[in-house]
Chain A
Amino acid sequence: MATSDRRDDRVEPDEPEGGPLERWTQRAMQNPERVYRALFYVVMIFFMVTTLFPFYWLLVLALTPQSRLLQGSFLPQIDLFGAAAEFPLPVAKGFNPAAFVSVFEQVPFHLFMLNSFALAVTTTVIVLVIASLAGYAFGRLDFPGRGALMLGILAISYFPPAAFVIPLFEAFTGNVPITVPFTEIPLFTPPRLLNTPGSMVIPFSALFLPLSIFILTTFYAQIPDGLEDAARVEGTTRIGALFRVIIPLSAPGVATAAILTFIAVYNEYFFSTIMATSFAAGNWSPLVGGILSYQTQYTTQFNLMAAASIVGVLPVVLLVVVAQERIVSGLTAGALKE
């Protein structure tokens, strides 16, 4: 009520010339808060739609029976008191929750999920350990060549992963020895890693390391020297101080690096489809391989693929929800006050 009163007060003098838009602009100029709020809602709605609509669409697809999927037209006609219109949101044609069960019947989808999960956890652990050590060195030690090395890592992180695929695939087949560059001198023959976790965990770790190193370097650099000195005098080694004091105090940074790495590997498609030579759970084919195996030469079961996608995404959603709370609590409890 108060707002409408005020609006009337403001509008009265300008009323004669303006239409609604002009009046709104007039008010916005006098009170820019309104514009910011409007912009906030526009942006919010935009992101809500772009992020949530795909999930809604997946759900619609998953629930529609296979037989009716191909008939298309998910925008239903509504006939309301003679006025016919198209309902703007797609809805499921029919209701077939059984798709979520047949997902597991047709393909051992849980095994694909387990593969992805195992690959993601292993990579995350490797990345965190190495990035922690690197972050400690870059963030807390002063050594010659630090800038150059950091730049090198930055350069590698911008390298297109596709550039690595062919040489890595060749190396992981275990058929040819690795040679000294530009010569024929063999160094060693790598073991055959195709269709094993090694062929995926190794490139994933290498590719996702730079980001984690950057995150952890900035976090570790902020821990006061005094705390590390105190831990060392109290009886830890440098490494001990890293794990007992610096890492716990950088919990938000470690969690961020861990989640980003985990999600990136869990969703990885490019390397895993190549390094696992077929979409078989036994070949360590990940989640994406599982989803794609509902597609055969002649049929594509869109409803099952959609259902599998939803199932596959759930663990990550849970992880983010849980971890987000941890990150927030870590931020508030961290209190790096001295």
Chain B
Amino acid sequence: MARLKLEHVTKRYEDVTAVDDVNLDIEDGEFVCLVGPSGCGKSTTMEMVAGLTTPSEGTVTIGDRDVTNLPPKDRGVAMVFQNIALFPHMDVYDNISFGLRLRDYPREEIDRRVEHAADIVQLEGMLDRMPDEMSGGQRQRVAIARAIVREPDVFLMDEPLANLDAKLRVHMRTELQRLHKELDTTIIYVTHDQAEAMTMADRIAVLDAGKLQQIDPPLVCYNEPANLFVAGFIGSPSMNFVEGTVTESGLESEYFDLEFDHAAFQGVGVGDAVTIGVRPEDVYPASEAASLSSGSRPIEVITDVLEPMGDEIFTYLLMGEGETSMAQEAATSDQLLMSIDPNTDITEDQEMDVVLDRRNVHLFDAASGQALTHGIVSPPDADGAAGSPAETDD
């Protein structure tokens, strides 16, 4: 039970800066996910909290103690590792009680705690098994039991579900959430899977290239991404990005114009180069435009590829001439991704008009990538720019 603080934490290796001036303030009992692509510094950040790596600069505080230079054993943290890291030469009981035995707890106390931990993760009756006699999920539960048995101040989980198969991963995800509810301990959870982060975290900390991009509750990250990177990283499939410019009359891009009153928004001026971002679910066929309070003008597109997912259809739309170009990135392109109702009558290579929900159109500074506004309906506060997904569906 403690709050965790990282202040100006930086880790430099000989030629790279793995973590660059990260500030995090994590409340007692909070579940925070560190997400980011591979090599973004999230594991290094975790190791610095655990004490396995010493930061080059900055301080790490757990509770009121500055633990920056303490060895891992004196920090009151417990960790679940990506590769599970059970000691193969010890049975389950010895694995779970390892930390307690090192701290010379009395025998009865150890027994009681191990039993309680095994109870929480449903490992009763398996205490005398060896790790190699267990399945992946069972081993993962032993690793979690080993962490909770010490009643740590902070739980660190480094991609604990990465090595499990998809079905077990979803199952363990719920178990971890239940566990968090039960233990009410501060948890830091590292993952590269944004879906995992979205579903579990109280707050998500998005890291890229060693820098903290945004730390906010999942839906805030989703609806009001702080910059282009967060907008592209959070959400699957990724947000559509189109390059554009601010004009007197609105927003202009190569393929479409949007109504936009720049005067109503701060920090946006005529002639500014911007990146227009819109999520696939905020693109609608023109036939549905009537139901939108603030739809854009219709945009002419040609459907390209359809990906029926069951509950929705991802439709790739080509704007302009409709020339199919290979290797389209999620970044700015002449391609739009639309997510529509599975019952919509739609075929490939069909000409159609689509509209964007202007309440959920994001503008980013083209040069810096910083978010300028979320929603381009003026006045911006009138229609709830931070609309939840529920709002966008009506």
Contact = CB atoms under 8 A, between A and B. Distances in A.
B78 interface: yes
B315 to A, nearest CB: 43
B341 interface: no
A245 B94 CA distance: 12
Contacts of B87: 227, 230-231, 245, 249
B305 interface: no
B88 A233 contact: no
B292 to A, nearest CB: 51
Contacts of A237: 71, 73
A236 B81 contact: no
A338 B85 contact: yes
Given A234-B99, A236-B73, A229 B52 contact: yes
Contact of A249 (B50, B88, B132, B156): B88
Contact of B85 (A227, A235, A236): A227
A249 B73 contact: no
B79 A335 contact: no
A226 B83 contact: yes
B79 A233 contact: yes
A226 B87 CA distance: 10
Interface string B345-389: 000000000000000000000000000000000000000000000
Interface in A237-255: 237, 240, 245, 248-249
Contacts of A336: 88
A109 B72 CA distance: 54
Q: Which among A227, A234, A245 has the greatest number of chain B C-beta atoms within 10 A?
A: A234
Nearest to A338: B83
B146 A234 contact: yes
Contacts of B156: 233
Contacts of B50: 229, 233
Contact of B52 (A232, A245, A333): A232
Contact of A231 (B83, B84, B98, B131): B98
Contact of A226 (B73, B85, B102, B130): B85
B132 A233 contact: no
A294 B336 CA distance: 98
Interface string B65-101: 0000001110001110111111111000000001100
B103 interface: yes
Nearest to B130: A335
A232 B72 contact: yes
A231 to B, nearest CB: 7
B370 to A, nearest CB: 37
Interface in B291-327: none
Contacts of A229: 47, 50, 52, 72, 79, 81, 85
A314 B238 CA distance: 74
A182 B74 CA distance: 50
A233 B83 contact: no
A233 B82 contact: no
A232 B150 CA distance: 14
A334 interface: yes
A335 B132 contact: yes
A338 B84 contact: yes
Q: Which among A230, A235, A240 has the greatest number of chain B C-beta atoms within 10 A?
A: A230
A161 B71 CA distance: 43
Contact of A335 (B51, B88, B102, B150): B88
A232 B102 contact: no
A69 B36 CA distance: 85
B79 A337 contact: no
Contacts of B83: 224, 226, 338
A272 to B, nearest CB: 37
A327 to B, nearest CB: 15
B40 to A, nearest CB: 20
A235 B87 CA distance: 14
A226 B163 CA distance: 14
Given A233-B52, A234-B102, A224 B71 contact: no
A326 to B, nearest CB: 14
Nearest to A248: B89
Given A233-B79, A234-B146, A240 B102 contact: yes
A232 B78 CA distance: 10
A214 B102 CA distance: 30
A233 B130 CA distance: 21
Q: Which among B78, B82, B86, B88 has the greatest number of chain A C-beta atoms within 10 A?
A: B88
A334 B146 contact: no
A245 B71 CA distance: 18
A337 B88 contact: yes
B352 to A, nearest CB: 52
Given A233-B79, A234-B73, A224 B85 contact: yes
Given A235-B73, A237-B71, A335-B132, A230 B85 contact: yes
Nearest to A223: B88
Contacts of B85: 224, 226-227, 229-230, 338
B96 to A, nearest CB: 10
A230 B84 CA distance: 9
B113 to A, nearest CB: 14
Nearest to B75: A233
Contacts of B88: 227, 249, 334-338
A222 to B, nearest CB: 12
Q: Which among A224, A336, A338 has the greatest number of chain B C-beta atoms within 10 A?
A: A338
B25 to A, nearest CB: 23
A90 to B, nearest CB: 50
Contacts of A226: 81-85
A227 B90 CA distance: 12
A65 B362 CA distance: 106
A236 B100 CA distance: 11
Contacts of B102: 234-236, 240
B114 to A, nearest CB: 14
Contact of A234 (B47, B82, B98): B98
A232 B132 contact: no
Closest 8 CB pairs of A and B: A226-B85, A234-B99, A230-B85, A235-B102, A235-B73, A233-B79, A232-B72, A226-B83
24 contacts: A224-B85, A226-B81, A229-B47, A229-B85, A231-B87, A232-B71, A233-B51, A233-B77, A233-B156, A234-B78, A234-B99, A234-B150, A235-B99, A235-B102, A235-B103, A235-B150, A236-B73, A236-B102, A237-B71, A245-B89, A249-B88, A335-B130, A337-B131, A338-B85
Given A231-B87, A235-B98, 4 more contacts: A234-B99, A245-B89, A334-B88, A337-B88
